Amino acid sequence: MSTLQPAGHLYIHIPFCRSRCHYCSFPSVAVQAVPEKAYLAALEAEFKYHLKGWPQASLPLGTLYFGGGTPSLLSPSFYLRIIDLLAGRLGFYHDPEITLEANPADISQEKIIGYRSAGINRISLGVQTFAPEGLQLLGRRHDGLMVERAVDLLRKGGFDNLSLDLIYAWPGQSRIDLIKDLQKLAVLAPEHVSAYSLSLEPGTSLAKDVASGVLRAPSEDTQVEMAGLLEEGLGEVGLYRYEVSNFACKEHFRAQHNLAYWHLEDYLGLGAGACGGWRCRKEEHHWAERYCNIHDPFAYMQRFGQMNALPSSEAGSAEFWQELWFEKEIIDRKTSFVESLMMGLRIRQGVSLADLRVEYGSQTVDAVILQARKLRTAGLVDWDDCNLWITDKGLLLSDTILDHLL
C-alpha cells in the first residue's frame, strides 16, 4: 500500500566478494575474478523475461539498488550497461535514487568518476566499525583509514548522498568502542546511517564461535544500553531515526528504496539470490506473489545462458522459468496484512490506517486498534486519525507488540 509516488523499484543482487564476512548470511561467493560479462548477460536475459509479466513494467523507475555481496568489485562499465538498458526499456523518474553498496577498500578515483558517469548518485559504504579488533572479528578487509580516504574521495568526486553502515553490540565491544565509532562518524558527516545490532545468523562463523563459547555475545541489557547511546550520539550530530535501524539528516536523504520495501511497494529483483514481489488482489488466498532466485551465481549464469540460446517461445515458457526460481510463494490476504503491519510499524511515523482500510477492510483494522488499547495505556503504541505507530518506549519491544496486536 503506497503513500509514495507510483514508481517502479528494482533491486539487483551482486553475489561476488573477495572474502566472506564472518557475520554474513546473504547469498554471496568469494572469487578472485568476477565474471562480469557472463553475469551481465544473465541479468539482461532475466530482465527481458520479467518485462512480459511484471506489473510495474509500464512505470519508470523511482529507485534502483545494487546490493551484495560487494557491488564495488565490479567495473563502472558494468553499471553503465545495466543502467542504459533500464533507461531504454523502463526509463527513470526525474532525480531517481540509484544506490550502490561499496566496501571502503575498493574505492578509487577512477571508479568514482565511472560510477557517477553511469548514473549512480548514492553510495552505501560498509563501515561497520572503526575498531581494529572489531573489524578483524567481523572479517572485514578494510581499516578506519580506508574509510576516511573513501569518504574524502567520494566527496571530491561529487557524491553528496552518502550512507554509512554501522554494526554494534559485537562480541567484545565496549561502551567506549561504540562512543569512538560515533565520534568518527560525526567527523565524516554522512547524510544517512544504517545501524544494526549484530545478528548471529545460523551457519555463520560468528554464530558458531558464540555457540561454542569461543566468543561471548553482549547481554541484552548491554545491547539496550548501546541502542540508546547510538540514538543519542547520532541525534547530537543531526541524524534522526526514521526507521528502527535507519537515521537521516533530512527527509530527502531517507533511503527511498528501503522505504518502498517498508511500505510494501511492488518491486522486482534481478540476480542470483535476489527476491521480488507484488500484490495481485486476485482472491483471498492469492493476494500477492513473491519469488527468490537460486542462490548459486554460477548455476544462475548457466541457466540464463541456456535461456539466451533458446528460441524466445521456449525461453518464455512457464516450465523453463519455474526451474529458475529458488523459491516461489503465494501470499494470502491474512499474511499480506501481517506483513503490511509489521513493515509499516518499523517506520517511526507508523503505518497508514487509511491505506490498511482500503487494502484489507475496516473490520480488520478496527480489530487491531482494539488490541492496541492496552498497549497505548502502557505507553508502547499510539495512533491518530492517520497513523498507528510504536512509541520510543516500545521500540525495542516491536516483535512482542506485533504479536499482541495480532
**CATH at residue 68:** 3.20.20.70
Determine the average pLDDT of the residues in 243-269. 95
Residue 382 phi, psi (nearest 5): -155, 165
CA separation for the pair 150, 108 (Å, rounded): 7
Q: Are residues 61 and 175 in the same domain?
A: yes
Q: Which of 114, 108, 54 is nearest to 86 (CA)?
A: 54
Residue 82 phi, psi (nearest 5): -65, -50
In sequence order, which residues have a C-beta less than 8 Å from that of residue 120 and are 6 or more positions away? 66, 79, 83, 98, 99, 100
Work out the pLDDT band at 346, boundaries 50, 70, 90: very high
Q: Does residue 284 lie within any of the structural domains?
A: no
Q: What is the pLDDT of residue 59?
A: 86
Q: Which of 248, 249, 269 is nearest to 259 (CA)?
A: 248
The gap between the terminal CA atoms of the chain, to the nearest Å, is: 19
pLDDT at 6 over 80: no
**What cell was used for 45?**
536475459
Q: Are residues 254 and 357 in the same domain?
A: no
Range of the domain at 92: 8-262
H/E stretch holding 78 reads: helix 76-89
Max mean pLDDT range (53-62, 121-130, 305-314): 121-130
**CB of 55 closer than 8 Å to CB of 266:** yes
**What cell was used for 247?**
537515521
Q: How many domains does the chain have?
A: 2
Q: Are residues 394 and 255 in the same domain?
A: no
Q: How far is CA 280 from CA 242, 322, 361, in A?
A: 29, 19, 16
- Domain boundary, last residue among 218, 238, 262: 262
Q: What is the pLDDT of residue 4?
A: 44
Q: Look up the pTM and report it.
A: 0.93
Give the single-character DSSP code of 385: S
> Among the listed ranges 236-245, 304-313, 331-340, 396-405, which one has the minimum average pLDDT value?
304-313
Determine the average pLDDT of the residues in 196-207. 90
In the chain, % of residues over pLDDT 90 = 73
Q: Does residue 126 lie within any of the structural domains?
A: yes
- Domain boundary, last residue among 243, 262, 281: 262
CA angle centred on 353, ends 366 and 389, rounded to 5°: 100
Q: What is the pLDDT of residue 317?
A: 61
**CB of 50 closer than 8 Å to CB of 270:** yes
Q: How far is CA 35 from CA 11, 29, 100, 326, 369, in A?
A: 19, 12, 18, 21, 52
Q: What is the pLDDT of residue 1?
A: 42
pLDDT at 209 over 60: yes
pLDDT digits (tens, 9 = 90+) for 349-359: 999 999 999 99
Q: Are residues 93 and 207 in the same domain?
A: yes
Q: What is the pLDDT of residue 57?
A: 77
CA separation for the pair 260, 249 (Å, rounded): 19
Determine the average pLDDT of the residues in 32-52. 91
Work out the pLDDT band at 348, boundaries 50, 70, 90: very high
Q: Does residue 290 lie within any of the structural domains?
A: no
CA separation for the pair 231, 225 (Å, rounded): 10
pLDDT digits (tens, 9 = 90+) for 54-100: 777 778 999 999 999 999 999 999 999 999 999 999 999 989 999 99
Using DSSP bridges, classify how beta strands 240-243 and 246-248 pair: parallel, antiparallel or unpaired: antiparallel
Which tops the pLDDT comparison, 303 or 120? 120
- Domain boundary, last residue among 229, 262, 295: 262
In the chain, % of residues over pLDDT 70 = 94
pLDDT, the chain, mean: 90
pLDDT digits (tens, 9 = 90+) for 268-307: 999 999 999 888 777 788 999 898 999 999 999 998 877 7
Residue 7 phi, psi (nearest 5): -160, 160
Q: Does residue 188 lie within any of the structural domains?
A: yes
pLDDT at 13 over 90: yes
Determine the average pLDDT of the residues in 130-136. 95
Q: Does residue 271 lie within any of the structural domains?
A: no
Q: Does residue 312 lie within any of the structural domains?
A: no
Q: Does residue 310 lie within any of the structural domains?
A: no
Q: Are residues 257 and 361 in the same domain?
A: no
DSSP string of 84-140, one letter each residue: HHHHHHT-EEEEEEEEEEE-GGG--HHHHHHHHHHT--EEEEEEE-S-HHHHHHHT-
Q: Are residues 228 and 376 in the same domain?
A: no
Q: Does residue 306 lie within any of the structural domains?
A: no
pLDDT at 316 over 60: no
